[in-house]
A and B are shown apart, each in its own frame.
Chain A
Amino acid sequence: MAKKVLIVDDEEDVRTYLGSLLKNNGYEISIAEDGEEAFLKVGEFHPDLITLDIIMPNQSGVGFYRRLKKSEEFKHIPVIVVSGVTAYKDFFAKDRGGLPKPEEFVEKPFSTENLLGKVQTYLK
């Protein structure tokens, strides 16, 4: 059975590109446009991995991530943060939040090989 990836990004171009890339490599995908929708999708789709943008309308990627990692049911799901702003790593300092850092950070614009390699690492 194909592994499932939830793509969370408010930019349609990124969703389309990432969606095609992952589908073409044998993954089943679902998409969400903001943190609120993403949390609903997590419950419905039960992804094996999430790619997460940070700047999105409504609930940001930061809020979504913290909600996810506080959930006993979903906290095991690996998250790859895909963001244009590396400063967002500050948000995930364990000292303050008490939550583990995301598995990976990928800076936009990203290379296909880099992102795919990281996805494959967690979905072996």
Chain B
Amino acid sequence: MDIQGNPGSMDKAVVQLLCDIKDDDCHIRFAAARTLGDVGSFDPVAQDALLDALKDKIWFVRLAALQTLRDIKPEPAIVIDRITPMLKDDHEDVREYAALTIGDLGHEAAPAAIPLAEALSDSVWYVRSTVAWVLGEIGPGARDSCSRLISCLNDDDSQVRLNAVRSLGMITPIEDTDVLLALEELASDKNQAEEVREKAHKAISRVMKTGDKIN
């Protein structure tokens, strides 16, 4: 079926890839998942096949499907419904890429803010770091994640702390004194890396400026 729903008129290449994405060989499934983005990006059947491939038992097939979906940009509701659960995938690269894909939605990713905030407790530092960064992309709609982002200010990894600070500056409303206090504490903490303190100062300035505009 093609995009107009005409059976039999679908591109032969897409038909083949739709078979390949269910092949027994995971490398063929992987290649099909990546190639579908090139030839079947506007075909809803291809998109459905990619969404099904998100449940593949092999992590790199799931990742390939995710990457292709990120390229073809499904509707925000589809991303939220189908990709948010992947923040709990078994493989760290898949979890990180799921966060990035959700982050592409910007403020439209607000419904995923809570699951993202939960992912700030991921065991892998670079997943936490990317999730912290993505929450900032959502902006004020991720306000419910602030308390978890504040917890990240004590993360063992400096990049997680940096991204948490950056995002707090992009999310926090001026009336949220708890966050501002946490940022001020961080900005004056001599034990923190220079870069982290500097970012905290910038985040505070950003919050204050946003508040000025509102007032």
In the assembled complex, the Cα of A55 lies from the Cα of B125 at a distance in Å of 19
Chain A residues within 8 Å of B60, by CB: 55, 60
User: Which stretch of A18-26, A43-51, A87-95, A112-120 is in the interface?
Assistant: A87-95
Judged by a CB distance under 8 angstroms, whether A75 is at the interface is no
A60 close to B93 (CB less than 8 A) = yes
B131 to chain A, nearest CB (A): 10
B133 close to A87 (CB less than 8 A) = no
Q: Which of B60-105 contact A (CB under 8 A)?
A: 60, 63-64, 67, 70-71, 91-93, 96-97, 100
Q: Which of B32-69 contact A (CB under 8 A)?
A: 34, 60, 63-64, 67
Knowing A55-B60, A85-B64, A87-B71, say if A97 contacts B129 (CB, 8 Å).
yes
Cross-chain contact of A85 among B34, B96, B158 (Cβ < 8 A): B34
Judged by a CB distance under 8 angstroms, whether B130 is at the interface is yes
Q: Which of A55, A63, A90, A99 has the most CB of B within 10 A?
A: A55
- Tell me the count of chain A residues lying within 8 A, CB to CB, of chain B: 14
In the assembled complex, the Cα of A96 lies from the Cα of B133 at a distance in Å of 6
A91 to chain B, nearest CB (A): 7
- Tell me the count of chain B residues lying within 8 A, CB to CB, of chain A: 24
Knowing A85-B64, A98-B158, A98-B159, say if A91 contacts B129 (CB, 8 Å).
no
B93 close to A95 (CB less than 8 A) = no
Q: Which of A71-114 contact B (CB under 8 A)?
A: 85, 87, 90-91, 95-99
Chain A residues within 8 Å of B162, by CB: 98
- What is B's interface to A at a CB cutoff of 8 Å? 30, 34, 60, 63-64, 67, 70-71, 91-93, 96-97, 100, 124-126, 129-130, 133, 158-159, 162-163
Which 7 residue pairs spanning A and B have beta carbons closest together? A98-B159, A87-B67, A55-B60, A96-B133, A96-B130, A60-B93, A62-B93
